[in-house]
Structure 1
């Protein structure tokens, strides 16, 4: 029950179909789709994403570093503000842990470039703007590529837009720019026959908004619009366009795929993961050659 209350207590920047899935998981609905646990990386994961010489970056939870000096930070599954049961056992990601890993990658001398690797429907709004700010600021010290291996939707695209460039597979899906809130309302007695009645003080009617009324929905939408404005402003900053152009050009809350996303300016390149890592590795090698020449 606490997990469900947490789910419905804050706004989400997530692909719409995922919110009922998370609600079902939070209520331990056994009919909900199973999310695979990510308990660190297996040797196969290292070989697949970082190459045979890849290794976990010292001190990091999620991040790997390739022998070419590319830090790969996977943003997989729904994004939660902090580590919890979902992140530990259900393959989700923690915004605070991603922040910590990203900071380690920026400081580490073995890392010459950063790849944020996305396959996420988005997640909770809390902590996303801070992580977006950190990624945007961090690219001033180390080149940062966002790579979409599957989906970078909603909060995922919020983050992906902050890199120097966005590359992805031909089937990469990006967008779903917008914010949603799920608000429960008890309309009949529970299984034990109890009906909860809440009474608020006279000067605080908005502490308990009724989402089933027009006035209640208007109040909720006012809050969501304020968060969406920050979302849009960050996307515009990251992509170098005007905020007013984001809603019209970037899907109006929907997702765009591959070539359509590139035509709209939502991504920069359609290329394979291997080609993207190779390009970053060459960049790092060239940087190191220049630094070596300067050190002579």
Structure 2
């Protein structure tokens, strides 16, 4: 009589339960809406940052010169620096075109008093190295008043030493690695592997030696002799140019001099492979022009960015697996 009837209590409980459910749904919807708004704001921010980054990259690509730094029109006299760094190859930063262009730009500058070819390379293509060697010799003949020297940092071996031998004098550090006057070519043989895997090699060629050094076929003894003769011919050209460049400074009675061995800078000095132990800055001071200007032709920012993404790594892997190359190392 004085209390609620059962039906009313049930209705109140049901309404309270429904109300809680709606409040919970409302909270979920509001939280989801807030999260979507937050994601949308961050999406706009990231898109804006991406746009700014790409715009800056494009601006650098368009406005930045290929030369290593800004070369002033007047310096009152300076020593020009041209770097030879890393693998010497047509597809690498240390390619003949880039090095030759850098050297030409250096000697053309009205205030260049000397040029230092700063080397840190273990070698590479004999053709690219020979191109640079010939150009240094030509520039020395055309600009006798501008001495061209070489300074070896960590390594100046094989094709890199080939280039250095064209300069007037070569300097190194006592711990530098110098020399390696030799030629090498290497690949792999997979003929047994494909046999175990049940793979049949099908090769069609016109010409007795067209499949020369095919890694999927056994090495033909005659072709081995032919290839070793070819390497020896390249080696003899290398030796002849080093002899021409270094002259009577070489200790030629050492039978290991042209064997492909590498020496420290201190040992190389005794063998006549280098003329002294000096750094780039020390040599520039001794030449009387301590102010140095970098004329090295650099890759564009876009090219550097692409290389950092690993494109060059993929290219190198393809080359290693698919081609045969001769290198001065």
TM-score class normalised by the smaller sequence: 0.5 to 0.7
The alpha carbon displacement at 1:164 in A equals: 0.5
Matches within 5 A, 1:186-205: 186-187=190-191, 188-189=193-194, 195-201=200-206, 203-205=207-209
Structure 1 CA distance for aligned equivalents of residues 224 and 250 of structure 2: 25
Partner of 2:185: 181
Partner of 1:154: 158
- On the 8 A contact 2:80/2:106 being kept in 1, the answer is yes
Relative to structure 1, the CA distance from residue 148 to residue 217 in structure 2 (aligned partners, 3 Å threshold; closer, same or farther) is: same
Match of 1:61 among 48, 67, 88: 67
Relative to structure 1, the CA distance from residue 247 to residue 204 in structure 2 (aligned partners, 3 Å threshold; closer, same or farther) is: farther
Relative to structure 1, the CA distance from residue 255 to residue 208 in structure 2 (aligned partners, 3 Å threshold; closer, same or farther) is: same
Partner of 1:70: 79
Q: TM-score, normalised by structure 1?
A: 0.64
Relative to structure 1, the CA distance from residue 186 to residue 195 in structure 2 (aligned partners, 3 Å threshold; closer, same or farther) is: farther
Partner of 2:229: 222
Is 2:122 aligned against 1:121?
Answer: yes
Partner of 1:234: 241
Measured against aligned partners, the alpha-carbon deviations of 1:37-76 in whole angstroms (never above 9, x if no partner) come to xxxxxxxxxxxxxxxxxxxxx9663588795411101111
- On the 8 A contact 1:176/1:251 being kept in 2, the answer is yes
Relative to structure 1, the CA distance from residue 80 to residue 65 in structure 2 (aligned partners, 3 Å threshold; closer, same or farther) is: same
- Structure 1 gaps of 5+ residues are 1-57, 88-92, 285-296
- Structure 2 gaps of 5+ residues are 1-63, 292-329
Partner of 2:266: 259
Structure 2 CA distance for aligned equivalents of residues 63 and 231 of structure 1: 33
- Displacement over 3 Å in runs of 4+: 58-68, 183-186, 192-196, 209-214, 241-247, 281-284
The alpha carbon displacement at 1:221 in A equals: 0.7
Please provide the CA RMSD for this pair: 3.2
Bigger relative contact order, structure 1 or 2 (CA pairs below 8 A, ≥6 apart) = 2
Partner of 2:51: none
Relative to structure 1, the CA distance from residue 267 to residue 113 in structure 2 (aligned partners, 3 Å threshold; closer, same or farther) is: same
Larger of the two Rg values belongs to structure: 2
Q: TM-score, normalised by structure 2?
A: 0.58
Relative to structure 1, the CA distance from residue 132 to residue 81 in structure 2 (aligned partners, 3 Å threshold; closer, same or farther) is: same
- On the 8 A contact 1:132/1:159 being kept in 2, the answer is yes
The alpha carbon displacement at 1:195 in A equals: 4.6
Structure 1 CA distance for aligned equivalents of residues 249 and 185 of structure 2: 26
The alpha carbon displacement at 1:131 in A equals: 1.0
Measured against aligned partners, the alpha-carbon deviations of 1:262-289 in whole angstroms (never above 9, x if no partner) come to 11000000123321121223499xxxxx
Relative to structure 1, the CA distance from residue 274 to residue 185 in structure 2 (aligned partners, 3 Å threshold; closer, same or farther) is: same
Matches within 5 A, 1:122-141: 122-140=123-141, 141=143
- On the 8 A contact 1:135/1:163 being kept in 2, the answer is yes
- On the 8 A contact 2:120/2:152 being kept in 1, the answer is yes
Count of residues in correspondence between the two structures: 218
